[in-house]
């Protein structure tokens, strides 16, 4: 089996695909049937990048086989469900580019049918009402050498039928009784030791209100939901592998209209973040972050606000593949996938986030000239734009040093650099304030280098970005780091809240951007701010107060900048 699995994993495509292909082939259990999958989120939080993987697998497999994928809110557990989450989940899936058409369901729509299937089990002698308290049940669950025990197991069918009906009618208090499947008290798989399939729980449900005071357990409800919807392949994560025998038992022993097959695949884990909704909710509720869509969150709405594109996320999910063993993927791989997409598609602009003024002392005062530059060298079809150049511009404070250090090719007295797409300038010095702080940098330009070329072929190693001080817009720029300082903030007995990175958000105000950035704001979701990374307007950005989030930095920071041409 292990060998078989490995071979399947290594084959082109993946093992799920192979299973499905076998199933629908001649002689397979679904010969001639349309492949039908489902994505079943529990609406108790926002979707995260781990869910994106499941979505890509569920919807992706259906797409691949020309089938269908249902969207089903798994709302059988009424504790923390909320309409807000339902809407957000739909929005996120649609944003990723997947469609469920009219196949949108709530598991709670099947409560009545589930109840009937439970009655069917009792009638067949395959379920009974048990009066052990949760503590007693725990004490009586046995171990590898001792079977579990329930004194109620052989209760007459009629009695269980009557009690179960009365459980439903609210005659007993919460926790007083359960309905248990009668399977095998000595099974090596503890999920099969007469699992509880219904419990009494007086909780208000977001859709069914107070109509029910008994609720089905996940392991009983899920196979029924799948079967009722005609799902052929119920794809889920590995932790359900040990539950598959119970899944199949429910399907085999109830008169459901179809037979779904459960296939498990590995959960996605990513380092430097936490992924469980419970933990993400804590970050929101305790105000460590600014809501579920904080750009530092691994939620889909957070990634979207950060500037992630649907294509980058789908591509990431595609490339990490599906496997049978859990593993942790590097966060940097997710960033890599985004960078690839934005490198192709983002508009290039110049923005200075830590500005200092550069005065070109030999450039006539009051003069200005235009340069035409390509919006995106990778997409000539995106056209060109005009930027202006005059005697004063802003440059990054880091692009000037009073004294050269090894490997530094930017501005220092006596050195020449290229002002990107404009001219080559030679640094002549600077002015400092009374504290010794550099407040202005001086340079002279070479009129023969218009466009940044050196007609005599002399070598100019550094190229820096700049923004015309006569023609710019102010912007706020938000720079992000990992939310956690530890790559595995929630492993072992670590408390992830102890590893919050205090520098995960850095707000830069008074940044200077090409006017272009302000004008087309909204039409182009992402920009490359040259040398700084990829940025997108934040949802709170307005025409009068531009705010940009750094989605991802460019690669190899310093090295690349210092040597760039
Ligand atoms: P969480 O612990 O984050 O709340 P969950 O599994 O309880 O996750 P559900 O809403 O029940 O969340 O999940 C819906 C579907 O998404 C399930 O099929 C589940 O297996 C899948 N899923 C959840 N997290 C991941 C993950 N990290 N990687 C892959 N699939 C996931
Ligand atoms: Mg869950």
* Ligand 1 neighbourhood includes 536 CB (under 6 angstroms): no
Distance 311 CA to ligand 2 centre (A): 26
Which position among 42, 264, 476, 514 bears the catalytic label?
42
- The Cα–Cα gap between 457 and 263 comes to 64
Structure tokens at 205: 């449900």
Distance 401 CA to ligand 2 centre (A): 54
pLDDT at 4: 45
**Pair (433, 492) in one structural domain:** no
Closest CA to 93 of 260, 366, 317: 317
**Pair (316, 390) in one structural domain:** no
One digit per residue, the tens of pLDDT, for the chain of length 565 reads 344 444 444 444 799 999 999 999 999 999 999 999 999 999 999 999 999 999 999 999 999 999 999 999 999 988 666 788 999 999 999 999 999 999 999 999 999 999 999 999 999 999 999 999 999 999 999 999 999 999 999 999 999 999 999 999 999 999 999 999 999 999 999 999 999 999 999 999 988 999 999 999 999 999 999 999 999 999 999 999 999 999 999 999 999 999 999 999 999 999 999 999 999 999 999 999 999 999 999 999 999 999 999 999 999 999 999 988 888 899 999 999 999 999 999 999 999 999 999 999 999 999 999 999 999 999 999 899 999 999 999 999 999 999 999 999 999 999 999 999 999 999 999 999 999 999 999 999 999 999 988 889 899 999 999 999 999 999 999 999 999 999 999 988 999 999 999 999 999 999 999 987 766 544 457 999 999 999 999 999 998 999 999 999 997 333 333 443 3
Q: 3-class secondary structure for 209-221?
A: ECCCCEEECHHHH
Closest CA to 118 of 197, 192, 7: 197
Which position among 165, 267, 404, 515 bears the catalytic label?
267
**Pair (171, 227) in one structural domain:** yes
* Ligand 1 neighbourhood includes 42 CB (under 6 angstroms): yes
Nearest CA to ligand 1 atom 4: 277
Closest CA to 516 of 382, 321, 416: 382
Nearest CA to ligand 1 atom 16: 51
Which position among 182, 277, 391, 410 bears the catalytic label?
277
CATH number of the domain enclosing 164: 3.40.50.620
- The Cα–Cα gap between 453 and 348 comes to 20
Give the residue numbers spanning the domain of 22: 2-268
**Pair (126, 229) in one structural domain:** yes
| Count of domains for the chain | 3
CA quadruple 232, 237, 241, 245: dihedral positive or negative?
A: negative
* Ligand 1 neighbourhood includes 40 CB (under 6 angstroms): yes
**Pair (244, 321) in one structural domain:** no
3-state secondary structure of 469: coil
pLDDT at 115: 98
What ligand is nearest to the CA atom of residue 71? 1
* Ligand 1 neighbourhood includes 307 CB (under 6 angstroms): no
* DSSP letter (8 states) at residue 108: G
**Which of 268, 296, 331 represents a domain boundary (last residue)?**
268
Catalytic residue status for 277: yes
CA of residue 29 relative to chain centroid, distance: 35
**Pair (428, 517) in one structural domain:** no
Distance 87 CA to ligand 2 centre (A): 17
β-strand pairing of 261-265 with 233-237: parallel
pLDDT at 80: 64
3-state secondary structure of 261: strand
Task: Decide: 238 and 264 in contact? Cβ < 8 Å.
Answer: yes
**Pair (480, 466) in one structural domain:** no
**Pair (532, 559) in one structural domain:** yes
Task: Decide: 91 and 215 in contact? Cβ < 8 Å.
Answer: no
Residue 249, Cβ neighbours under 10 Å: how many? Answer: 21
Task: Decide: 178 and 220 in contact? Cβ < 8 Å.
Answer: no
Q: 3-class secondary structure for 401-457?
A: CCCCCCCCCCECCCCEEEECCCCEEEEEEEEECCCCCEEEEEEEECHHHHHHCCCCC
The angle subtended at Cα 251 by Cα 249 and Cα 257, nearest 5°, is 165
Closest CA to 253 of 195, 178, 213: 195
Burial of 156 (0-12, 13-18, 19+ CB in 10 A): exposed
- Report the half-sphere exposure of 81 (CA within 13 A, side-chain side): 23
pLDDT at 327: 80
**Pair (57, 134) in one structural domain:** yes
**Pair (423, 526) in one structural domain:** no
* Ligand 1 neighbourhood includes 426 CB (under 6 angstroms): no
- Report which secondary-structure segment, H or E, holds 222: helix 218-228
Place of tokens 């063993």: 325
- The Cα–Cα gap between 20 and 45 comes to 31
* Ligand 1 neighbourhood includes 298 CB (under 6 angstroms): no
Nearest CA to ligand 1 atom 26: 50
CATH number of the domain enclosing 502: 2.40.240.10
CA of residue 5 relative to chain centroid, distance: 28
What ligand is nearest to the CA atom of residue 54? 1
**Which of 268, 289, 306 represents a domain boundary (last residue)?**
268
CA of residue 465 relative to chain centroid, distance: 32
pLDDT at 518: 62
Give the atom of ligand 1 at the shortest distance from the alpha carbon of 53. 29
Q: Over the Cα atoms of the chain, what is R_g? A: 31
**Pair (169, 225) in one structural domain:** yes
pLDDT at 9: 43
Indicate the angle between helix axes 218-228 and 244-253, nearest 10 degrees.
Answer: 60
Give the atom of ligand 1 at the shortest distance from the alpha carbon of 239. 20
**Pair (89, 13) in one structural domain:** yes
Catalytic residue status for 9: no
Ligand 1 pocket, mutate which of 237, 266, 280, 325 (most atoms under 8 A from CB) = 237
**Which of 243, 268, 293 represents a domain boundary (last residue)?**
268
The angle subtended at Cα 400 by Cα 397 and Cα 401, nearest 5°, is 120
What ligand is nearest to the CA atom of residue 276? 1
* Ligand 1 neighbourhood includes 277 CB (under 6 angstroms): yes
* Ligand 1 neighbourhood includes 223 CB (under 6 angstroms): no
């Amino acid at each position: 089996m292990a060998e078989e699995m490995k071979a399947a994993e290594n084959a082109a495509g993946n093992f799920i695909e192979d299973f499905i292909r076998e199933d629908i082939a001649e002689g397979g259990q679904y010969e001639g049937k349309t492949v039908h999958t489902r994505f079943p989120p529990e609406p108790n939080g926002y979707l995260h990048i781990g869910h994106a993987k499941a979505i890509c697998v569920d919807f992706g497999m259906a797409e691949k086989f020309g089938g269908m994928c249902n969207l089903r809110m798994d709302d059988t557990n009424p504790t923390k469900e909320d309409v807000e989450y339902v809407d957000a989940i739909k929005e996120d899936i649609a944003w990723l580019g997947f469609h469920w058409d009219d196949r949108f369901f709530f598991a709670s729509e099947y409560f009545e049918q589930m109840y009937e299937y439970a009655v069917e089990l009792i009638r067949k002698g395959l379920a009974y009402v048990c009066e052990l308290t949760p503590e007693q049940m725990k004490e009586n669950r046995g171990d590898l050498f001792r079977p579990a025990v329930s004194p109620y197991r052989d209760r007459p069918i009629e009695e269980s039928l009557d009690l179960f009906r009365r459980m439903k009618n609210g005659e007993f208090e919460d926790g007083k009784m359960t309905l248990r499947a009668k399977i095998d008290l000595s099974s090596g798989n503890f999920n099969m030791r007469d699992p509880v399939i219904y419990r009494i729980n007086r909780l208000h449900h977001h859709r069914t209100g107070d109509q029910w005071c008994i609720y089905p357990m996940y392991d009983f409800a899920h196979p029924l939901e799948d079967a009722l919807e005609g799902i052929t392949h119920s794809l889920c994560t590995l932790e359900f592998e040990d539950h598959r025998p119970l899944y199949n038992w429910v399907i085999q022993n109830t008169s459901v209209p179809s037979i779904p097959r459960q296939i498990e695949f590995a959960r996605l884990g990513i380092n430097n973040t936490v992924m469980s909704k419970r933990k993400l909710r804590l970050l929101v509720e305790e105000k460590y972050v600014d809501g579920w869509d904080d750009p530092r969150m691994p939620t889909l709405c957070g990634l979207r606000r950060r500037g992630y594109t649907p294509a980058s996320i789908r591509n990431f999910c595609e490339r990490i593949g599906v496997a049978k063993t859990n593993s942790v993927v590097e966060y940097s791989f997710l960033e890599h996938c985004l960078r690839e997409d934005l490198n192709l598609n983002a508009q290039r602009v110049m923005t200075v986030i830590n500005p200092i003024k550069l005065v070109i002392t030999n450039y006539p005062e009051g003069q200005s000239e235009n340069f035409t530059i390509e919006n995106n060298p990778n997409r000539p079809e995106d056209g060109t734009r005009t930027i202006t150049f005059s005697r004063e511009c802003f440059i990054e404070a880091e692009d000037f040093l009073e004294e050269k250090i090894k490997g530094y090719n930017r501005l220092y007295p006596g050195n020449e650099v290229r002002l990107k797409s404009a001219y080559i300038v030679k640094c002549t010095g600077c002015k400092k304030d009374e504290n010794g702080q550099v407040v202005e940098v001086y340079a002279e330009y070479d009129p023969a280098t218009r466009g940044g070329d050196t007609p005599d072929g002399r070598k100019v190693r550094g190229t820096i970005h700049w923004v015309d001080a006569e023609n710019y817009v102010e912007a706020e720029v938000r720079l992000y780091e990992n939310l956690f300082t530890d790559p595995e903030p929630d492993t072992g007995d670590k408390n992830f809240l102890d590893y919050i990175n205090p520098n995960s958000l850095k707000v830069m105000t008074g940044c200077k951007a090409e006017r272009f950035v302000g004008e087309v704001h909204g039409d182009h979701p992402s920009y490359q701010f040259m040398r700084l990374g990829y940025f997108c307007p934040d949802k709170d950005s307005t025409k009068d107060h531009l705010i940009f989030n750094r989605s991802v930095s460019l690669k190899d920071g310093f090295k690349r900048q210092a040597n760039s041409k």
